[in-house]
């Protein structure tokens, strides 16, 4: 069971999604929108984890492949693959996931501290593991998963290549 100090920071509403066979959750207040997978413009000299950028209502938004971010093989798009646009330090970032599940209300007493082993995700990127009758979900600290410096460098590179064109 989560301690009250730990639990106070992890209880709440989460958007849940799948990557491969694993289920994840991200705080609903970090989610701006969910959209179908659309063509992404590749940005030269960016890491493989960065698929590229999209133009979202006139704003350049970097898009990350969460499979690659967590050391899995690259995402193979299906009709369920989508982009979740999340907020990271007041910047919008797209994350490509295999499928979106649902919004769930997770109580603090349903959350266990992250394990020190066994997950594809570094433990400092996890808020905890939510357990319920539906199984276990890894709750992501999305601001740690998508480091601000990484997001800024991709956005800057995209804007530089756009202005050079």
Residue range 36-69, pLDDT digits in tens? 999 999 988 888 889 999 999 999 999 999 999 9
Residue of 157 and 3 predicted with greater confidence: 157
Is-above-0.95 flag for pTM?
Answer: no
Residue 121: DSSP 8-state: S
4-158 domain in CATH 2.40.50.180? yes
pLDDT for the residue 14: 96
Distances (CA, A) of 13 to 17, 92, 103: 13, 20, 7
Number of Cβ within a 10 Å radius of residue 13: 13
pLDDT for the residue 159: 64
What does the pLDDT average to over 132-156? 79
Domain boundaries, given as residue ranges, for the chain: 4-158
In tens, the pLDDT along 67-123 reads 999 889 999 999 999 999 999 888 899 999 999 999 999 999 999 988 776 556 667
């Amino acid at each position: 069971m989560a301690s009250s100090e730990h639990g106070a920071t992890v209880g709440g509403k989460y958007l849940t999604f799948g990557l491969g066979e694993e289920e994840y959750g991200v705080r609903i207040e970090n989610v701006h929108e969910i959209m179908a997978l659309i063509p992404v413009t590749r940005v030269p000299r960016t890491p493989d984890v960065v698929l590229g950028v999209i133009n979202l209502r006139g704003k350049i938004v970097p898009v990350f492949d969460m499979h690659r971010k967590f050391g899995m093989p690259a995402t193979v798009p299906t009709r369920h693959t989508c982009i979740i646009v999340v907020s990271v330090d007041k910047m919008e970032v797209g994350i490509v996931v295999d499928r979106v599940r649902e919004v769930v209300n997770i109580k603090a007493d349903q959350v266990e501290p992250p394990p020190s082993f066994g997950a594809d995700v570094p433990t400092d990127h996890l808020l905890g593991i939510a357990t319920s009758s539906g199984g276990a979900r890894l709750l992501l600290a999305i601001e740690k998963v998508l480091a601000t410096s990484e997001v800024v460098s991709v956005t800057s590179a995209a804007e530089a290549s756009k202005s050079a064109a």
